[in-house]
Structure 1
């Protein structure tokens, strides 16, 4: 295994030219589930208390693989350092680690090495692990945004101190409830169209947006400081940011830009309004695809 040399420049920033920092995210055929995460319900919170920092394993990804709260992702981990990170997360860190992206910010003219900012951190919970012949498939769920305060160690994998990063612009319950209701209705309409587009014979098939919305509404009890878990309105504002059926490369690129913007926004109402617009655009897009599908079936 190649050793990776890191130079720590400032909080939340690291300098390296080693892309080997990034894990594989391929998704081989799953094998039987060995571990699953229980989904008990908890009462929703209205207020967030201050949290102390947590020291957690950190897993880096390229800028086009940002993860938002409520989103799921499947990772294929097979390198020894990432399997060690998985073991640490499962048995010592209550099934949590931090997903973040390396954002290129500069090139050192003398060495030719790129510098990367550690950005868009998201606390993730491990929902299930499936053993493979080589490595493991790990299903994760984004919980809430975090800020990386500092790096603690670089080997055998990154760890760091993180704190929650929540929206900080207050709004009335009426304002937020109205927008949350709009986005729920829009997402259900989109889900209904997607099911028809993906597999007309499988009415019970659930899409990614439906999965994220359901999780946001019924967030399971998580064994972590509640300050790291966003309120309902904030979670729902992220739930819309999922790929729709049959997305083209340009549509996926648009989604990535939306996700980056959403992670930067600090106002829940702004993000809800932005997400509603995105869902409505997707409804029109999927409806058009359904119309074409219907025409094709008649030819």
Structure 2
């Protein structure tokens, strides 16, 4: 289900890292319809009854129902599909256009360092006279963690917090701003199984990290691997910078942590990881995502072990 927002048009220009395609023969982007597929999905909730200790444990491993009024008005930053960002993932942006620097200032001064990273994709239709309509998908609430001011623009380190749906578009210029609501996993009565998978995932990521730090790396790479970095963030207990309704439960946060690139990834490995990230963003099943994370972590551990063996032969 796709929703046209108030029948307003979105004027597309370049994203911070890429340029979206312009209409043939035009010197500037045409106005293009903007759609959101999220309104129905973001209001789905599952209520299950529990009592005693089971309820306390479920609070750690299952999302509670969200009130329909839970929303934030935030700046929106569009990217292409290969730039999808998942919760727990960190990313560095180079922002240099005036409008995106203005977005950065609003995020810092008025929005507690928050904005929304989302993917914008063209929608194939038979109509061409009005330009190509685009759909907003894979929204992720992000927190600005660090800023390095440059002579031209700024390097901005961001962290994915949770999936969000864009339910209304409030501003087009000089940058996008809209109303967003959190998207979290459904609750299921599988607490014991989720606890077991969480323990397995932690152990798998520890194994992966211990091997990755032994690999030769460029001087620009951190000693803390991306998977370890995501795991440390996911296991945080206090999130002062964000509304609690937008913080996924522990198991859901951890379920994204393994979906990080490792040192020396090939193009085919990055492509496979990209597919898993898109699948993870679509899923509402924590247990399924934990299983995928364990599988990815073990595959990366085996690949890293093989690379270490090759590295030892080259010494």
Scaled by the length of structure 1, what TM-score is found?
Answer: 0.83
Conserved 8 A contact 1:16-1:114: no
Conserved 8 A contact 2:140-2:164: yes
- Indicate which of 79, 96, 104 corresponds to 1:61: 79
- Determine helix, strand or coil for the equivalent of 2:124: strand
> Cα RMSD over matched residues?
2.5
> Are residues 1:10 and 2:26 paired?
no
Task: Give 1:195 deviation, angstroms.
Answer: 0.7
Deviations 1:161-208 (A, max 9, x none): 11110001413321111001101100110111111113599xx92100
- Indicate which of 123, 129, 139 corresponds to 2:147: 129
- Indicate which of 270, 274, 279 corresponds to 2:297: 279
Distance in 1, Cα, partners of 2:277 & 2:237:
21
Q: Quickly say closer, same or farther: Cα 1:138–1:118, change in 2 above 3 A.
A: same
Tell me the residue number matched to 2:279.
Answer: 261
- Indicate which of 151, 174, 178 corresponds to 2:192: 174
Tell me the residue number matched to 2:128.
Answer: 110
Q: Quickly say closer, same or farther: Cα 1:110–1:221, change in 2 above 3 A.
A: closer
Q: Quickly say closer, same or farther: Cα 1:197–1:12, change in 2 above 3 A.
A: farther
Distance in 2, Cα, partners of 1:131 & 1:139:
12
Tell me the residue number matched to 2:256.
Answer: 238
- Determine helix, strand or coil for the equivalent of 1:196: coil
Task: Give 1:281 deviation, angstroms.
Answer: 1.0
> Are residues 1:77 and 2:95 paired?
yes
- Determine helix, strand or coil for the equivalent of 2:79: strand
Tell me the residue number matched to 1:193.
Answer: 211
Distance in 2, Cα, partners of 1:194 & 1:59:
32
- Indicate which of 152, 163, 168 corresponds to 1:145: 163
- Determine helix, strand or coil for the equivalent of 1:75: strand
- Indicate which of 234, 240, 253 corresponds to 1:216: 234
- Determine helix, strand or coil for the equivalent of 1:86: helix
Scaled by the length of structure 2, what TM-score is found?
Answer: 0.79
